[in-house]
Structures are given as C-alpha cells and as structure tokens.
Amino acid sequence: MPHRSSVPLAWRRFEARYRLVGNRCANCGTVYFPPKAICPKCRRKGKLEKCQLKGEGKVYSYTIIHAAPSGFEKRVPYCIAIIELDEGPRVMGEVVGDLALLDIGARVRAVFRKIYEDGEDGIIHYGLKWELV
C-alpha cells in the first residue's frame, strides 16, 4: 500500500480519521466525507464549511475479507462495509462487534480503534471503525 509509512500524510488526515469531520456546502446543503476541496454540484457558487458528522449510520453493503493485505492478516475473517451515514455520505470502513448482527441496513456507530501499526517501530495509525448496535 503506497504512502502507508508516510507520517505527514497520516497526520494531515487525523481530523477526518479520528473525528469524522467532513464538509457541507452552504449553497446546496450537500454533506461530503471525506471533505472535498470544491462542491462538485455548485462549482464556483459553492461554499464549503467544516461539518462535524454524528458518526451514526447503516450498512449499505459489505464483504467478508479472508485474504487480507499485509498488516491485516491477523484480523481475518473481518468485515469491510460501505456505511451510509445519517447525513448522507457513504464511507468505507471495518465493521466490528457481534458480527451475528451483520446485515444490509444494520445500524452502526463510529468507534475509535487502532487501524494498523507501521511495523514494530513505526507509528500506530488510529481511526474509526463501525460497531454494530
């Protein structure tokens, strides 16, 4: 995975990754996550403002990973899903908790978790996962 060991790149994304801060276009009301540089609907008329998302939503679609990329081998089998947030945007992330409850439309909430470690001596990458409720 490219950039995985880039400390500055990870650091620039802490706000979005730790706290689910997206943005919202004041012109059309669309909420974006991850935050966008311009509103693709309104273009130059758009006015993007920071927007704190609540961290609640539902499973839009999911898959179970059995053959994991390097660094995630110990977690197999695990669930990667597209989560439809209550504010509208869809985000991809891991679903955790009691996977017996896993289904399309199942409610989830954001929880703070360790995503991966950059080896034994690199930084620890934290972020949000989605716990079934």
Residue 112: CB minimum distance to another protein, A? 4
| Token output for 7 | 């400390």
For another protein, which is the closer residue by CB, 15 or 103? 15
Task: Assess contact for 105 and 91: CB atoms under 8 A.
Answer: no
For another protein, which is the closer residue by CB, 27 or 72? 72
Contacts of 95 (CB under 8 A, 6+ apart): 59, 62, 79, 80, 81, 83, 102, 108, 129, 130, 131, 132
Residue 89: CB minimum distance to another protein, A? 19
Judged by the rule CB under 8 A, the positions of this chain that interact with another protein are 14-15, 18-19, 21, 52, 74-75, 96-98, 111-115, 124, 126, 129
Residue 6: CB minimum distance to another protein, A? 17
